[in-house]
Chains A and B, each alone.
Chain A
């Protein structure tokens, strides 16, 4: 299986995502922002970082990159897409996911390990988890405070689109939301960084199953 990782100018977790994908047993493929093609990959990760410096609004410029056209089509066609941190912000800007991410309520960048709970295992990125399973994952962001209007939040909850929830909310997110999926469940956005806990040498492999999940999901589909 080939999993693509988009690289925008200013992406900085792209190498980490490529490394985690390789560890999960898939073939990582770099997708350069200026090339309007997905090189036939089976899934796409939009990694963290500060695309285009995030000077306007996180993800606001990246959303117009040439690679985004094919990516949006891929997502609408049901292809598995995962956005992590800045990648989550990009997917929101591209309206592949609902809502927005605001400044953390503490008004500071927050980088620490947080406890989270897997809420949904019916997305291609969470199939190998148990519902209700607790994970300790790193967060590192300035704008991770998930916000949407009441109606949207209600829909997300009722339709089971909240995929990951904070047990110790680090940023003021509505309903402790750490990650969501779209209605079709193939597009997932996570604020925490599973790729950073995908190697036992760094003390934890809890995040690797996110990438192994998409492999398993692809296997099930074939």
Chain B
């Protein structure tokens, strides 16, 4: 193989290789080249996204740790803090869905442990191609099994998430896993190899094997037929070892035995050691022969870049090393001193004393940065061109509503989340199926809420508006359960940045996220970028996934979406400017993904959501739901099904809302910045008082077993439930024809 072929096979470009030559002042050997290849990959080095990520706001009154560490950290109160991050595992899941998803969960858990936090909640945001395709069904089934297989065994509850289906993700599923951990604010650990020279580097956890060699490079490339041949690049997870790793790491930290801690993810020991060294502005020497191995005959370079799972790297003062190894033994984990901190700033790999590779850690951490031209692609004009007058108006809205509720993108997710243990740990206050999961912090009245929201279709039609919409929806979801939104983590899932459409989508969506985070006051404290999500059929939708965390002073004061009592007043609150552009209705009923959706009106989003949160916190409202996919009719139907109580809309009261609008637009149009709440009659006056100055309408009352909007819709709650409670894993017939 020529040198050019070698570096190309490692995913390095000609100009990148030239830059390596220039930095090193000599030709790198294969190991050194491998180090550059993994550390300069998009997954580790953010070479295409770094200038964009700098735009994110990342400070705030509750932020203790912003981006740059293993996870972000925010303060809750009474000395408690939360560490959280979301990360993608898209490429591995595309070729080996069970292990890809399982190791995605394992990896994000280790990021949280590395901050010293105990993982207490998992979520996942998923996208697949439509379920009428065998391969997509397989990927969906196995990804869900993998998430459950790992999360259930490791004993961290999976409390929320989301999943949708679109042809844009056929063959390139998105698997974004998020973990939240709890920690004392003054005990946050940082992955900095400071405290200098002479400290030892300890590797502990599972043994090292050949799995995942060059996985980071693989994850930063497009998916092709050849990807199948890279199946051995996918790591294999062992939740049992993962569970031991959690308990062991927390015990080591509790005893104050570690100077720094870092999980091993992409590019294994090499990447973790070089990150620790670069952050601490020191050097690290690794003795490859001291790494406990699972298989024989591994070359030293393989040892240091292997992505074997369930391992951590720690910096330890020499006198504490023995105690560290002893504790690891108690948890039946392998552990060894595999290196030392030096003062020269080099990441050096030794094999029985011989230097087999040496690169200044700063070179590895300093991946090249590509800023590209942002130019509006032509496809946008085409897809945004939409006239609702071209659509047939449905005749039977009963049938349309049932069809919407039964669609895989809107129906109940219970067949997914019932495969996840959502309660282990005994902290889950509001279980999956709600607008957001609610967790308590044991021994206090405090709590937190967490949600993931994704806006792929919206971003495809308008990347900037869609980026903002994902943040706004997360903000609404947290507000509906009564939590004060604090900060976000994000996964940026996009196509190739080397293509015009791809880079435009990325840059614009980031701008939308930035704008929303600024107005809503929710900084970005951690995240991950996954580019090159493309198959031979093209790129995925530009798909930012947002994971937002909010806090409660008193977690008992929370709300859920299901109707609670007969005779409650049902109130619509906020903007009512529904549009069919880019709506679920348009895609499900008419088979079209067109139009320019309403861009979020961020000041309204904040004003109304903050008010809903106040209503919940003050105990005026215990039933609240945000209106999103499927519009007002679907939101009301969901509240009815969740509570098992019907509702009848007051036709006279809603007449002003219907006037001048197509019926389908009024029922199923989408716009953001609106909510539905329900209150018993005795709180109606309090509610009206609290709503002074805000647009609202009393639209009906709960009760009975009918769900009706006189003259438009008349169904029973059982009808709704029969459509909604659908098993997503049953063999699916195609979705059927569209209205045209």
Q: Do A and B bind each other?
A: yes
List chain A positions with a Cβ less than 8 A from chain B: 9-10, 12-13, 15-16, 19-20, 48-50, 52-55, 108-112, 138, 140, 142, 193, 195-196, 198-199, 201-203
Q: Report the 5 A-B pairs with minimum CB-CB distance, sorted nearest first.
A: A12-B155, A53-B240, A50-B153, A140-B421, A16-B426
Inter-chain contact A140/B556, CB cutoff 8 Å: no
CA of A52 to CA of B127 in the docked complex: distance in angstroms? Answer: 33
Residues in B with CB closer than 8 Å to A15 are 425-426
Inter-chain contact A195/B155, CB cutoff 8 Å: no
Residues in B with CB closer than 8 Å to A112 are 414, 418
Question: Known: A12-B155, A12-B424, A201-B440. Contact between A55 and B418, CB under 8 A?
Answer: no
Distance in Å: Cβ of A56 to nearest Cβ of chain B? 11
Inter-chain contact B429/A10, CB cutoff 8 Å: no
Contact with A along B130-155 (1 / 0, CB 8 A): 00000000000000000011001111
Inter-chain contact A9/B332, CB cutoff 8 Å: yes
| Residue B423 CB within 8 A of the other chain | yes
Residues in A with CB closer than 8 Å to B696 are none
Inter-chain contact B423/A111, CB cutoff 8 Å: yes
CA of A201 to CA of B239 in the docked complex: distance in angstroms? Answer: 29
Interface residue count on the B side (C-beta < 8 Å): 33
Distance in Å: Cβ of A164 to nearest Cβ of chain B? 18
Inter-chain contact B423/A10, CB cutoff 8 Å: no
Distance in Å: Cβ of B413 to nearest Cβ of chain A? 13
Inter-chain contact B239/A50, CB cutoff 8 Å: yes
- Compute the total of residue contacts between A and B using a CB distance below 8 Å: 88
Residues in B with CB closer than 8 Å to A49 are 155
CA of A113 to CA of B414 in the docked complex: distance in angstroms? Answer: 12
CA of A12 to CA of B440 in the docked complex: distance in angstroms? Answer: 18
Inter-chain contact A10/B153, CB cutoff 8 Å: yes
| Residue B30 CB within 8 A of the other chain | no
Inter-chain contact B426/A195, CB cutoff 8 Å: yes
Residues in B with CB closer than 8 Å to A50 are 152-153, 155, 239-240, 243
Contact with A along B390-431 (1 / 0, CB 8 A): 000000000000000000000000100111111111111100
Provide a sorted-by-A list of 17 A–B residue pairs whose CB atoms are within 8 angstroms.
A9-B332, A12-B153, A15-B426, A16-B424, A20-B426, A50-B240, A53-B153, A109-B149, A109-B418, A111-B422, A112-B418, A140-B421, A193-B423, A201-B555, A202-B427, A202-B429, A202-B440
Q: Is the interface of A mostly helix, strand, loop or mixed?
A: mixed
| Residue B471 CB within 8 A of the other chain | no
| Residue B442 CB within 8 A of the other chain | yes
Distance in Å: Cβ of B730 to nearest Cβ of chain A? 11
Inter-chain contact B556/A52, CB cutoff 8 Å: no
CA of A196 to CA of B425 in the docked complex: distance in angstroms? Answer: 8
Residues in B with CB closer than 8 Å to A203 are 429
Residues in A with CB closer than 8 Å to B426 are 15-16, 19-20, 195-196, 198-199, 202
Inter-chain contact B240/A9, CB cutoff 8 Å: yes
Distance in Å: Cβ of A198 to nearest Cβ of chain B? 8
Distance in Å: Cβ of A149 to nearest Cβ of chain B? 30
Distance in Å: Cβ of A133 to nearest Cβ of chain B? 22
Residues in A with CB closer than 8 Å to B80 are none
Question: Known: A53-B238, A196-B423, A201-B556. Contact between A111 and B428, CB under 8 A?
Answer: no
Q: Which of A49, A55, A108, A111 has the most CB of B within 10 A?
A: A111
Inter-chain contact B429/A110, CB cutoff 8 Å: no
Interface residues of B in 557-611 (CB under 8 A from A): none
A111's partner among B332, B420, B442 (CB-CB below 8 A) is B420
Inter-chain contact B442/A108, CB cutoff 8 Å: no
Residues in B with CB closer than 8 Å to A110 are 418-419
Residues in A with CB closer than 8 Å to B154 are 12
CA of A19 to CA of B424 in the docked complex: distance in angstroms? Answer: 12
Residues in A with CB closer than 8 Å to B332 are 9
Distance in Å: Cβ of A88 to nearest Cβ of chain B? 16
A109's partner among B419, B425, B428, B729 (CB-CB below 8 A) is B419
CA of A15 to CA of B425 in the docked complex: distance in angstroms? Answer: 7
Distance in Å: Cβ of B558 to nearest Cβ of chain A? 10
| Residue B684 CB within 8 A of the other chain | no
Inter-chain contact B423/A138, CB cutoff 8 Å: yes
A113, closest chain B residue (CB): B431
CA of A10 to CA of B155 in the docked complex: distance in angstroms? Answer: 8
CA of A46 to CA of B153 in the docked complex: distance in angstroms? Answer: 16
Distance in Å: Cβ of A170 to nearest Cβ of chain B? 9
| Residue B56 CB within 8 A of the other chain | no
| Residue B269 CB within 8 A of the other chain | no
Contact with A along B221-242 (1 / 0, CB 8 A): 0000000000000000011110
Distance in Å: Cβ of B393 to nearest Cβ of chain A? 40
B156, closest chain A residue (CB): A12
| Residue B316 CB within 8 A of the other chain | no
Inter-chain contact B240/A55, CB cutoff 8 Å: yes
Residues in A with CB closer than 8 Å to B244 are 9-10
Distance in Å: Cβ of B423 to nearest Cβ of chain A? 5
B420's partner among A12, A16, A109 (CB-CB below 8 A) is A109
CA of A112 to CA of B422 in the docked complex: distance in angstroms? Answer: 9
CA of A31 to CA of B360 in the docked complex: distance in angstroms? Answer: 49
Inter-chain contact A16/B152, CB cutoff 8 Å: no
| Residue B386 CB within 8 A of the other chain | no
Residues in A with CB closer than 8 Å to B421 are 109, 111, 140
Residues in B with CB closer than 8 Å to A48 are 424
Q: With A9-B332, A13-B155, A15-B426 given, name 10 new contacts (CB 8 A).
A: A9-B331, A10-B240, A20-B426, A108-B419, A111-B421, A140-B422, A142-B152, A201-B556, A202-B423, A202-B427
Q: Which of B153, B425, B729 has the most CB of A within 10 A?
A: B153
A16, closest chain B residue (CB): B426
Inter-chain contact B422/A202, CB cutoff 8 Å: no
B422, closest chain A residue (CB): A111
Question: Known: A111-B423, A140-B423, A202-B440. Contact between A12 and B418, CB under 8 A?
Answer: no
Residues in A with CB closer than 8 Å to B419 are 108-111
Residues in B with CB closer than 8 Å to A198 are 426
Residues in A with CB closer than 8 Å to B148 are 109
